[in-house]
Amino acid sequence: MKTLFLLSLGLCFAYSCGKQAPKPATNLHTEGPGSAEEWYQQGLQYYENQDLTRATEAFDQCIALDSLYVSAWHDRGICHFSLDRFDAAKSDFFEAIALDSGYAEAWFNLGLVYDRLQEPDSTFWAFEQSTQADPQFAEGWFNLAVLHMDRGNSSMACTCFKKSADLGDADAKQAWEKFCP
C-alpha cells in the first residue's frame, strides 16, 4: 500500500504542488544573457520537455553563478531523482533545505528519496519535516498517514488523512472514509 501512494504523488516541482517557488536567497542573479535566472528558466524548460540531462546542466550553470539559488538546488534534485541518482538528489534537497528550512516541497522530496533508498525512519522524518515546514502541505500529511498505516498506527494515520482531506486532497478524503471510523 505504501509504495502505491508514495509513487502516485510523484515529485513536487517548484511550481507544481500548488505553491510558488521560494524566492532566491540573494539578489546576485540579474536578468540577461548568462544570468543565473536565465539558466534556471532554461532548466525548467528542459525539464518540461523531459530533457533531464540538459535540465541538470542548466541548473548546474545557475548554481555556479549563484550558489544560494534555492529553487535551482531543489529542481536539480528532482532531475537527479528522475534519473535514479538518489544520492545526488538527496544532496541537492539537503542544500535547498540548508538555504530554506521552511521549503516543504524539498523536505517532501527528500522523503521520496529516502523511500527509494529504503530508509523508512528517514522517510518518516522527512515527511514529518514537510508538514512542520508548512502545516498546509496536504501531500506531506497524506504521506505521513500512509506511513502511519504501514507502521500499524491507524489512529495517527486517520488524524493525518483528515488533515490532508481538510486541505483538499481527494485521495486523502477517500482513504479517510475507507480506513477511519
pLDDT digits (tens, 9 = 90+) for 2-11: 332 333 334 5
DSSP assigned state of 22: P
Average of pLDDT values for 76-84? 97
Using CB atoms within 10 A of its CB, is residue 50 exposed (0-12), middle (13-18) or buried (19+)? exposed
3-state secondary structure 85-150: CHHHHHHHHHHHHHHCCCCHHHHHHHHHHHHHCCCHHHHHHHHHHHHHHCCCCHHHHHHHHHHHHH
141: its cell numbers? 500529511
Average of pLDDT values for 75-97? 97
pLDDT digits (tens, 9 = 90+) for 15-65: 344 444 444 444 444 444 589 999 999 999 999 999 999 999 999 999 999
180: helix, strand or coil: coil
pLDDT digits (tens, 9 = 90+) for 93-123: 999 999 999 999 999 999 999 999 999 999 9
Q: How far apart are CA 51 and CA 77, in angstroms?
A: 14
Query: First and final CA of the chain: distance in angstroms?
Result: 19
